[in-house]
Chain A
């Protein structure tokens, strides 16, 4: 039996959010107080919803069409961002954006999966599913960052690497594998933030580094719950069970020692109060970068290697 969808659970919150949006655009003299009251109402409702949230709900929340995407974070946190296009080999992949910008007074390289907001944009960005050229562009920008001593910040939000004919012809697997090996050697700090969907190898290829954050209602998984349900249960109605079993929420990954910290989301999730979400990301990102920049590079690379070296659970008999 499948549980009720998150989209139904959040309906009353979305209604309140709409009222907030209307008030914000109005010239109501008491709008500040009114918005505050509505936000408190959202918090109260959210407290009732949170205990009911299943892994499947979190997956739906992570994929929410109103959720902030990479470029929203960049716009909110970065000054003078200049997007850099293309892998210099084949094409520019709009499913991954990359570029340079000022963050707290120094240049940082930003790389992230990008989904579209409108139908047309979603198609243009291939629903955030990169082709090999996307990963190769990401690697090009990482190398550029290494050359000029810019730290790298990545935003992870993809259903996965695109499963297509062209992607296979151009070496999807090779592109991902090469990124992983090169990330292991990259001589600048790397911070990863999972903002939505962390879909398998397609997420990993730009989703590993020195410090890994996950937004509270994002997920990171070896396979989508739908894919897992189809293979192991041979039944699409087993998505709930697959999502639970995969242990893919931020809390699960923290408990497994895979990520470093969870970035809290506002009541209702990131999309209900994007400004607060950006502030939370900022609050976590700034000290993380500072800490990594202060480490000697050899020490940083050793720590990065050790972090992944110890991942895995097995016994010695």
Chain B
């Protein structure tokens, strides 16, 4: 198989790659939502030419001197080369349907989208920017959770980001959280679940504990569809599940509703 062709992870059918790309990385046959790189996400959602990337100068450190099969510093370099990003998140300011917004998007290809100090700082900064500029915040999550290699510092990013969002909450600035496949662990247990509106893409795995951990704990097979976006919707944890092709128009409609409030 040349790299012009690929196999759908879900329906297993062979597809022409360009067809998937043209279809916003959704399988044209079965609607399976492939993962999308962070930069592509921004391009898909914000108005063309309207946005600039911000906070690009924030780089990770190795505060614990962590070393598993590879030193953390080497792992960081490897992932930075692979993704040409500083860490597992990018942020931008721009407009969507003409509405100014600030946006952060997580990059799963960078160490599983894990949250260490840089992700925590950049999420905090977009929240602060939204607060200062009084414009809505959109965060697209895609993460395995807190980054082990930064230990308790990663854990504290849960509180740091939630504390920044508490300020937005008090100020009445809309925050839309979009959960994509997968969003688990410390990211779900902090900013990803704190949107005024929480939406997810179809089929996205969303949870606190990973399915393998749960299976090992309860020693039972998990029910079909467990921890998928539709399961969370049914259990009241999401406002809606939105197909990628409708995501941009959904956000524009939603933001219009949030921004047209009656004057007191």
**Contact surface of A with B, Cβ cutoff 8 Å:** 161-165, 167-174, 176-178, 180-185, 200-201, 204-205, 208, 220-223, 227-228, 231-233, 241, 245-248, 252-253, 256, 258, 304-305, 308-309, 311-317
Contacts and interface: CB of A to CB of B under 8 A. Distances in A.
A245 B153 CA distance: 13
Contacts of A313: 61, 63, 117, 150, 153
A165 B117 CA distance: 30
A181 B169 contact: yes
A231 to B, nearest CB: 7
Interface in B143-187: 146-148, 150-160, 162-167, 169-170, 185-186
A178 B164 CA distance: 13
Contacts, number: 198
B117 to A, nearest CB: 3
B67 A245 contact: yes
A180 B58 contact: no
Given A177-B191, A245-B68, A305-B167, A201 B59 contact: no
A316 B59 contact: yes
A200 B237 contact: no
Interface stretch (B29-37, B93-101, B212-220): B212-220
A25 B147 CA distance: 50
A165 B218 contact: yes
Given A308-B156, A314-B118, A181 B166 contact: yes
Given A173-B208, A185-B170, A222-B154, A233 B69 contact: yes
B146 A165 contact: no
Interface stretch (B5-13, B14-22, B38-46, B221-229): B221-229
A193 to B, nearest CB: 16
Nearest to B179: A173
* Dominant SS among interface residues on chain A: helix
A159 to B, nearest CB: 11
Given A171-B235, A312-B156, A317 B218 contact: no
B194 A171 contact: no
16 contacts: A163-B214, A181-B162, A181-B166, A201-B158, A201-B190, A204-B159, A232-B68, A248-B151, A253-B152, A308-B159, A308-B163, A311-B157, A313-B150, A314-B61, A314-B121, A317-B57
B169 A232 contact: no
B146 A200 contact: yes
B152 A220 contact: yes
Nearest to B87: A314
A157 B64 CA distance: 24
A168 B148 contact: no
